[in-house]
Amino acid sequence: MKRILIALAVSLAFLITCAAQPPKKGDLKKGAAVAQKAATTKGAELLDINTATADQLKAIPGIGEAYSAKIIKGRPYKAKNELVQKQILPQHVYDKIKDKIIAKQK
């Protein structure tokens, strides 16, 4: 029992010591870069298939003139997986772009 208490005390002292040290400048920059990339990946780069122009759709790898026209013609979408359900896109194309699109509701 004493050994466990000693181990816990040492661990706690180590954690307190590490937490008390200010972060280095490089660590702050890395943290900010990771946060910026996460924010950009999650929100800013998602293309709304209900409002995107043909040119915006064609900018997605795997989507050309024909697919962009089919996507626009099949609007509105309640969910992005309707692209496959409505046979607008084949499953393999959808699998490549599903992380780049969203179907926003009004």
Helix, strand or coil for residue 101? strand
pLDDT in tens, 10-41: 777 776 766 666 666 555 555 555 554 554 44
Domain that holds residue 70: 47-102
Whether the predicted pLDDT of 92 surpasses 80: yes
Report which of 97, 102, 106, 104 is spatially closest to residue 47, judged by C-alpha positions. Answer: 102
Kindly state whether residue 75 falls inside one of the protein's structural domains.
yes
| pLDDT score of 40 | 45
Instruction: Report pLDDT for 31.
Output: 57
Whether 27 is covered by a domain: the verdict is no
Q: Is residue 2 part of a domain?
A: no
pLDDT of residue 99: 96
- Domain assignment of residue 18, yes or no: no
Q: pLDDT by residue (tens digit) across 31-79? A: 555 554 554 445 558 999 999 999 999 999 999 999 999 999 999 999 9
Number of domains present in the structure of the chain: 1
Q: What ranges in the chain are assigned the alpha helix state H?
A: 2-20, 25-39, 54-58, 65-73, 82-85, 91-97
Which domain CATH number covers 74?
1.10.150.320
